[in-house]
Amino acid sequence: MNKKKIYQIENLRIDSEFIFFQVDQIEYKFRLSEVSPRLANASEKERSKYRVSPSGYGIHWDLIDEDLSIKGLIEQ
């Protein structure tokens, strides 16, 4: 059974202050301190170890046990 992709996340990148990504050709930029204190306080190594769910529903960081919902971010 194939699951339909909810979001096609592209160009995901994270720096010490922001998370950036593109969905449906729209660019998004969020301040880490506003969307995730864990990410804001994480090291560069911890922030760089993430995976996007196969459906595109969210992003997970194993090293800091953090999840962000794409829908929750873009529908703010």
Residue 55: predicted pLDDT: 87
Residues 11 and 24: beta-carbon distance below 8 Å: no
Give the whole-angstrom CA distance, residue 69 versus residue 38: 15
Predicted confidence (pLDDT) per residue in 63-72, tens digit: 999 999 999 9
pTM, whole model, 2 decimals? Answer: 0.86
Residue with tokens 């994270």: 14
Return the domain boundaries, the chain: 9-74
CATH number listed for the domain at residues 9-74: 3.30.2020.40
Predicted confidence (pLDDT) per residue in 21-62, tens digit: 999 899 999 999 999 999 999 999 999 999 999 888 999 999
